[in-house]
Every structure is written in C-alpha cells, then in structure tokens.
Structure 1
Amino acid sequence: MSNANELKAKGNEAFAAGRHDEAVRLFTEAIELDPTNHVLYSNRSASLASLKKYEDALRDAEKTVELKPDWAKGYGRKGAALFGLRMYAEARDTYEAGLAHDPSNALLKKGLADADAALASDADGMGDFAKQMSAAFQGDVLARLAANPKTAPFLVDPAFVAKIRDIQADPNKLQEHAGDQRITMAMFTLMGMGDIFSQTPPAGAEFMSSAADLMDRKDHPTSPPPAGQKPEPMETEEAPVELTEEEKAAAAKKAQAEEAKAQGNAAYKARKFDEALESYGAAIELDPTDITYWNNKAAVYFEMGRLDECIETAERAVEVGRESRAEYKHIAKALGRIGTAYSKKDDLAKAIQYYERSLTEHRTADILGKLRALEKLQKQRAEEEYRDEGKAEEARERGNALFKAGKFPEAQAEYSEAIKRNPADVRNYSNRAACLTKLGAMPDAVKDCETCIALDVTFVKAYIRKANALFLMREYAEALDALEEAKTQDADRKNRPEIDQLEIKCYAAINEHTSRLTPEEALKRAQANPKVASVLANPAMQSILQQMQSNPRAAREHLKNPAVASNLRKLIAAGVVRMG
C-alpha cells in the first residue's frame, strides 16, 4: 500500500504542474495496486477532465461514488464530467445529490449554480455567444497576455493562469470564470478591444485582497488558499498551478522591458533624447510586440527633428499593434504622430490622410483639431495657387460681355471666377453685385458691395450699388445712409448726378409710403421696428426732436452730425418725422 500512496503523491505533483497525461498514468498504476481506493479514482477523474476526456472522467467519477456513496467530492467529480459533456441537467441532479450528503459544500454549490446558468444560457440562446467569445482564447494566449501591459501582471497569479488554461481546454469554462474581472479584461484584450477599460485591476495577491466583491475565493476552486494555510491534497479541486519556465522567462523579460520604458520616460521628460532612445530601444529588444515602446521611440525622434525616422518607427508601431491586437487608441496615436510628422515636413496631403486614419481608429479632440486646421490651411494654399491676375482680367472681360448681352447668370459665374483668380480687385465684386441685383438676389448684392468698401473705402460705385439694392429691398433709410457715404467719397463729384437721382427716388418712395399713414399709425409701426424704436428711445434724439418742433432751423445744424442725420433718416423713412 505504501507504493500506491507514493504513486498518488507523485500524481498529485504532476497534476499541480499541469502534466495531466503523467498524472493519469501514475494514478492508474496506483489503482492497479489499490483498486478499492475511491480517492485514486477521484484524482484520475480530475486529470482526465483536464485533458477533456470527459467520458473517461465520468466512468472514474461513477466508480468513486460507487465506492464511497456518502462522499460529497465524488458527486463533484461526476458533476464536473457531466458538465464537460454538456449534460447540464444531469450535472445539476448530481450536484444536488452531493449536497444532500454535504449541504454546506461550497464546490457543489458552485457547480449547481454553474449548471443552472448553463441551462439558462442554452434556453435563451447565449450558448452560441459564449462559443464566439471563447474563440479569443485560442492559440498562444499567455504570450499575448504577457505582451500587454494591462494583462501581463495577472500572470503572476497561478489561479489566473489556471483559469486561462481551463478555458483553453474547455471553452464552456469561460462562463464559469466570467465573475473574475481579469478574465473579462483578458477576453476583450485578446479580441483587440481592451480600450473599453478605463482602469486596470490590480494583479496577484493585491487583486485577491482588494476585489472581494468580484469573486468569492471560497467558491472558486482555482483560487489560492489564504496566507498560512497549506493546500489541500489532490482529491480537492484546489491544486495549485504554476507558470512554466517559458512563461516565467516571458514575464521576467516583460518586467525588464517595463523598467527600460520607465527609464526612457524619465529621460524623455528631462529632454535627454539620446538616453530615451537607448532605453526605449532596450524595451523593444526585450519585447518587440508592445506598441507603446515603438510609439514612445517615435515621439523621441519627432522631438529631435528626425522626422523620417519618426514616421518609419510609428509605421512599425502600427504593424506591431495590428499583429498583437493592441488597443485601438494606441494604433490611433501612432497614426496621429505620423500625420504630425508629415505636417512638420509641410506635406499637408499625407498629414491629412494619416489624421483621418487615426480618427477612424480612435476619435480624439486633439487630432480632430489638427485635421481641421490643416484642411483650412490646405484650402487657403489651394486658393493662393489658383490666383492669377491675368486670368482674372480675362474672366472679368468675359463677364462684362455677358452682362451687356443680358446673360446675367453666366456673367455672375465669370465674375466669381475672376474673384477666385484675384480676390483683391474690387471691380470683380462690384460687377457681380450688379449681376445679383439684376437676378433679384439683393442681400447677396449688398454683401458684395460691403466687401468692395472693405477693400477700398473710396470706391464710390460700391456705395451707389449698395444703395440701389437697399432701395429695391425698401430699406430706404439704409439706402440714404449709403448715398451719404457716396457723397463723402465722391470728391470730384463725377458720380453726383447718379447719387442725387437715387436719393430723389428714395425720398419719393418714402413720401408715397408714409402719406398713407396717420401719425398715430406711423408711430405704432415705428415702435414695432427695433431699429426705429431704439432711435425713439434715445434721450438725445428726443431732445433734438423737441428742438426741431420749436425751431425748424435747428434741424440744419443737427444734420451736420452724421450719426444724428442717419437717425433722422430712419425716422423720416418710418413716417415719424415728415418732410415739410
């Protein structure tokens, strides 16, 4: 019997190290020496289940229950095997049978809860979804998790590694371990969606002590025992799992890479760029799959003005990020840095291209602002490159010919082309304003005239055309104001006949309009017009109006003040003040 016990002990060690085939062999040899020992069948059942040989595991579990029908753990082994075979209803019945012998058994309670959850999942169709999520755990999962700064610290906890292996061995276990937030984070990280997490939970023992609300250690057979407590023997489900030597080496290299990155960050902040390059290079050599090291190195090259090397390094960062399924925001950062480097090289087209690509990965206000600024600059440059005074003159002459022929839309198009070719020539805006007036687009005509005036305050024709458009809009007071400005700028009086003629038309239209109104009606309408109402409410204007009533000659003095004259014209146009 001592040989059977020795074989069992060696089998326990093999199971704890993850060498399940070896554990099955050792437990089989022990059973041959002691075929009535229920613990040996229980342990071999656990090893077979770890190999996903659930039918064999079920046979051993049933033998365990046969040999020891009052031992709750045997029902746990049987329930686990049935669960692996997706026989959830039978697993549920088995767990309940075990609880009849040990009502407080935490493992059986959890198994029962898992079976209920699996049954509910199948009922509402979530089983297929769980399969899709579990696909993320295929392949070299541990190496990919070690390459991510957020998930690498989890690998120091054997319980976490055990859960990952558990899911790899049986994708259905993903649902069982979904209560552990680290598993959820690992799943999304492996799917390239790790950026949905704003924070990374603490790792290892710190995680186990600070996240009690996420997982109850008593209910998780893969959790480590409390400090100071020895692990239970193999017949429990709490056998410790350790990292392989290869995994330990990967974790150690990752830690060294993070240290090199920290040194690089410190050197970068101190603007010791050569040292920063060396440190980031060391981090990359230790772990070339981490996009953040490449991104940081590209940032150093940018600060040093080595823009081509910055672009090359950032492009490599994008490649690395795609291969390792890095978070989208890191890929976006690399693309944005390429865009900024091209902007520094004054290659606006490529800079805009990379900014747009960055925003498709992850949208940030910084990159969006840079994109808008470059688009504006690119438009300005395109306009400047399009300018040609000779071609502008040709377009203006074509517009003049079309205007004389009464082809106003075509003339407007030619004047617009002339403006694009030479936006400093006031004649182009003035001529287009004339076309717009013919086409009935009075507000646009006024805008073109105001642009003329802004470019050249002495361009009398712009004031006259503005007054004409305002007259047609029945804005008589504003039209008279424009004519007064025209008089001021018409020093040689060449345009005076045209100005006087339009002024007479304005006053005639005002008299025709106001003659139909009683003084009371005119005042009521004036008070409803904000522009006129503000003039009436002005105390200074009230005083002037009173003086004009008692002394009509005072009006001549007041009209010498342009501001007062303009206000009086508003009141005259409204019919509040009438011409004698």
Structure 2
Amino acid sequence: MDHSSEEAEPFRPNPAKTKAEKLKEDSNVSSAKSQAIKEKTMGNDAYKKKNFEDALNHYQKAVDLDPTEIVYHLNIAAVYFEQKEYDKCIKQCEKAIDIGRENRADFKLIAKAFTRIGNAYKKMENWKQAKVYYEKSMSEHRTPDIKTLLSDIEKIIKEEERKIYIDPVKAEEEKELGNQKYKDGDYPTAIKHYSEAILRNPDDPKYYSNRAACYTKLAAFDLGLKDCEKCVEIDPKFIKGWIRKGKILQGMQQQGKALTAYQRALELDPSNSEALEGYRQCAVSVSSNPQEVRKRAMADPEVQNILRDPAMRLILEQMQSDPKALQEHLKNPDIAAKLQKLLESGLIAIH
C-alpha cells in the first residue's frame, strides 16, 4: 500500500510560561482588581451623593477592569433603578446573574439580583412578574425581608383580582338566587349565593345581613354574628343589621349584649316593633334572673379585670351615690368602654 510522503504536523505543546511571566501576569491581574475596587469605592461615594452618572462611570470602569465580579454589575443595576430605568436595570441584573453563575458567585448575590429584578417589576406595577422574581430570590437564599416583599406582592395581586371580580349587577342576581333558596329552606345553597354576591360587591351591607339570616337558621351563631358586625361596620345606620345582631346574641344567651344591639336599632327608629320586642325580651330576661346573669358575667375575664381595678370600683360607688357623675365619666373613652362592657354583661343598669 502506497503511503503518502506528507506527514501530519506533530503536536507540539506550547512552551511553558516562565516563572517571571507568570508572576507578571498575576501582578497585572492583582493590579486590575485593586484598581477595580478603587473605582467601585468612588462609585459608591458618588451613589450616596445621588451623583448617579458619576457612579455609573466608576462602576463601568470597575467592570472593564474586572468583568467577572458580579458586585460591579449589580451596582450598575442599582444606578439604573434609581434613575427609574427599570428595563435597563432588569437586563443588567440578568447579565449579573449569568456572570455570577459562570464564576460561582455567592448565592446571596444571585438572590440580590433576583430581588432587584422583582423590585423593578414592582415599580412598573407588573405584580405577577415581581412575584416570580421574588420567588426565584427565595429559592436562592431565604430572608425575612424577601418573605415580606413576597407576602406584600401576593396581597396586591389578590386585591387586584378582587377588584376585577367586582360586578354589582351580578351581585344582585346572586342575591335574588339566594333569596329564592332561602324561601325554599335550602340555607346552605342560599349561603353560597350570598357569598358570591359579597365577592361581587363587598361594600353592600344587605348581603352580609342576608347571609347572617341563613347562618342563624343553621344555628351557626358565631358566623352570623361576624356577618352582622361587618354589616353595621359598613353602614352603622343599617337597622336590620342591628336587629339581626340582637337576635343572634339572644340565641347565644348573651342578653346584655343583645340589649345593646336593640338599643342601637331603637336609636335609629324608636318605633321599630322588632327592636322594641327584642329589647323587651332581653330586659325581662336580665331582670328575672339576676343570679344567673351575675354568674355568667363574673366568669368573663374582661369583667373580672374591670372589677379588680380600684379606680373603676370607686367610679361605680360614686355612680350609685351621685347619678350625675356618670355623664362626666363617659367623657373618658377608656372608662366609657369599661362601663359599656359592664352594661352588656348585665352587671349594672343605667336608668
């Protein structure tokens, strides 16, 4: 077999660098790194003074001298953020992440880059993208600050979705469906319709009142009471809310508190028959069984604390001897709140 006379060029390794060349190269690298740190320091000083263009120039020089250091790229991104150049900030952070990954940067710095991207998206009101990047930051390094940022952004997203869902017309449709189910005695389904009406229009008190009526029918008094309280919080003049609250409190055997609810209803309409009847029933119940009322009241830790207070005991004694003293004491909100608690518990009565 004929062999070609032309032979392949043999592999010749590059001659090893001399010790002097290596030292010179290391010295150059070390010098560049030192100069980069100086540029970063000057950049930081300018940044603190809000001289962002100067800061940017110094950080860029630091990058030119030491392009593998993630911190300098992050500092450039920080300047863009302050200048409200959010798109530039995001791109710079993405570049920093790539460089950081290639050079095995501390995961805390990678997390910082993701957080800064999240902050930029938050400023641009792109809540969902902000959430994505806060989550990425958390996956690199969990800190309480990022957890708070993530929690806050989730609340914003939830609130935005809630606002989009609001539709008063659909709320009324759901209420009508709920009313029909209530008439049919199908209270669980009525609750579903009233709940949907609340989601569609959360600022209308009547939906809470209607749902409270269903809860009362199902003897879920605690849930009904919560709805009544929301109802009168939205509209303190919504008389049906106070009456319903009174009925629920009666069902919970809290006659003193029920009395107060009926009293609020009667302040709005002194001739309301439901409120008058409820008030009468509670007043009779409280007066006919004082021992039971006292026993129940004394078991309440809040009542116990009020009665242990020497100042309050003095006020109660003064009220007995001088009824006019009450008006003076009611001017103090703290004392008024404590007297209201004792009234609701049925321990004292004001005539």
Please indicate, yes or no, whether the TM-score normalized by the shorter chain is above 0.5: yes
Residue 499 of structure 1 pairs with residue 278 of structure 2: no
- After superposition, give the CA deviation of every residue in 1:395-446 in whole Å (9 maximum; x if it has no partner): 1111111111111111111111111111111101111111111122212212
1:431 maps to 2:210? yes
Matches within 5 A, 1:181-200: none
Q: Structure 2 residue aligned with 1:297, among 51, 68, 76?
A: 76
- Per the alignment, residue 483 of structure 1 pairs with 262
- The within-5 A match list for 1:564-575 is 570=344, 573=346
Match of 2:128 in 1: 349
Alignment partner, residue 46 of structure 1: none
Counterparts in 2 of 1:567 and 1:423: CA distance versus 1, 3 Å? closer
The structure 2 residue matched to 1:458, chosen from 223, 234, 237, is: 237
Q: 1:316 to 1:526 in 2, by over 3 A?
A: closer
Indicate how the Cα distance of structure 1 residues 430 and 320 shifts in structure 2: closer, same or farther if over 3 A, else same: same
- Residue 541 of structure 1 is matched in structure 2 by 316
Deviations 1:348-377 (A, max 9, x none): 111111111112212333333322222222
Question: For 1:468 and 1:255, how far apart are their aligned partners in 2?
Answer: 79
- Asked which structure has the greater CA Rg, the reply is 1
Name which of 41, 46, 65 aligns with 1:262. 41
Residue 272 of structure 1 and its aligned partner are, at CA, apart by 2.1
User: Partner residue of 2:157?
Assistant: 378
Instruction: Note if contact 2:70-2:99 (Cα within 8 Å) is conserved in structure 1.
Output: yes
1:471 is matched with 250
Q: Which residue of 2 aligns with 1:249?
A: 28
Partner residue, 1:287: 66
How do residues 109-148 of structure 1 correspond to structure 2 at under 5 angstroms? Answer: none
Structure 1: how far apart are the matches of 2:250 and 2:220?
A: 13
How far apart, CA to CA, are the structure 1 residues paired with 2:178 and 2:217?
A: 14
What do residues 82-114 of structure 1 show as CA deviations (whole Å, max 9, x unaligned)? xxxxxxxxxxxxxxxxxxxxxxxxxxxxxxxxx
- The Cα shift of 1:570 comes to 4.8
CA pair 338-369 structure 1, distance change in 2 beyond 3 A? same
> Contact conserved, 2:266 with 2:276, CA < 8 A, in 1?
no
1:422 and 2:201 aligned: yes
* TM-aligned CA deviation for residue 500 of structure 1: 2.2
Matched to 1:254, the amino acid is: K
| Alpha-carbon offset, residue 386 of structure 1 | 1.1
1:329 aligns with 2:108: yes
CA RMSD of aligned residues (A): 3.2
Amino acid at match of 2:218: L
Output the CA distance in 2 between the equivalents of 1:387 and 1:323: 48
The within-5 A match list for 1:521-536 is: 526-530=297-301, 534=306
State the one-letter code of the partner of 1:319.
D
Q: Aligned equivalents of 2:289 and 2:99: distance in 1?
A: 78
Letter in 2 for 1:541: L
In structure 2, give the amino acid aligned to 1:321: G
Deviation at 1:454, TM superposition (A): 1.6
**Aligned partner of residue 67 in structure 2, secondary structure:** coil
Is the deviation greater in 362-371 or in 445-454?
Answer: 362-371
Secondary structure in 1 aligned to 2:72?
A: helix
The percentage of aligned residue pairs carrying the same residue is: 40
- 8 Å Cα contact 1:426-1:455 kept in structure 2: yes
Matched letter for residue 538 of structure 1: R
What amino acid does structure 1 have at the position aligned with 2:174? Answer: A
Q: Would the aligned equivalents of 1:430 and 1:452 in 2 still touch at CA under 8 Å?
A: yes
Confirm or deny: 8 A CA contact 2:286 2:293 kept in the other structure. no
| Letter in structure 2 aligned against 1:354 | Y
For the 8 Å contact 2:255–2:286, the answer to whether it is kept is yes
Matched, 1:402 2:177: no
Q: Which residue of 2 aligns with 1:90?
A: none
Separation (CA, whole Å) in 2 of partners of 1:317 and 1:274? 20
Larger CA deviation: 311-320 vs 350-359: 350-359
- Residues 527, 274 of structure 1: CA spacing in aligned structure 2 closer, same or farther, 3 A cutoff? closer
Aligned pair count reads 321
| Gap change, CA 1:315 and 1:490, over 3 Å in 2 | same
The answer to whether the 8 Å contact 1:532/1:570 transfers is: no
Q: Distance in 2 between matches of 1:525 and 1:428?
A: 33
Q: 1:484 to 1:320 in 2, by over 3 A?
A: same
Aligned-partner Cα distance in 2 for 1:522–1:403 = 35
Q: Which of 301, 311, 316 pairs up with 2:90?
A: 311
1:412 to 169, 172, 191: 191
Change (3 A) 1:526 1:394: closer
Please give the alpha-carbon distance, in whole angstroms, between the structure 2 residues aligned to 1:337 and 1:541.
Answer: 60
Q: Can you give the 5+ residue segments of structure 1 that lack an aligned partner in the other structure?
A: 1-16, 19-240, 548-553
Instruction: Report if aligned partners of 1:352, 1:375 keep a CA contact under 8 Å in 2.
Output: yes
- Consecutive unaligned residues of structure 2, counting only runs of 5 or more, are 1-17, 331-335
Q: State how far apart, in whole Å, the 1-side matches of 2:339 and 2:159 are.
A: 42
Letter in 1 for 2:116: R
1:523 positional shift: 5.7
8 Å CA contact 1:477–1:566 kept in 2: the answer is: no
The residue that corresponds to 1:443 in the other structure is 222
Within 5 Å, give how 1:385-396 maps onto structure 2: 385-396=164-175
* TM-score normalised by L of structure 2: 0.81
Could you say if the C-alpha distance between residues 486 and 317 of structure 1 is closer, same or farther in structure 2, counting changes exceeding 3 Å?
same
Conserved in 2, the CA contact under 8 Å of 1:267 and 1:273? Answer: yes
Identify if the C-alpha distance between structure 1 residues 408 and 293 changes in structure 2 by more than 3 Å, giving closer, same or farther. Answer: same
- Whether the 8 Å CA contact 1:408–1:435 is kept in 2: the answer is yes
- Cα displacement (A) at 1:503: 2.5
Q: Which residue of 1 aligns with 2:3?
A: none
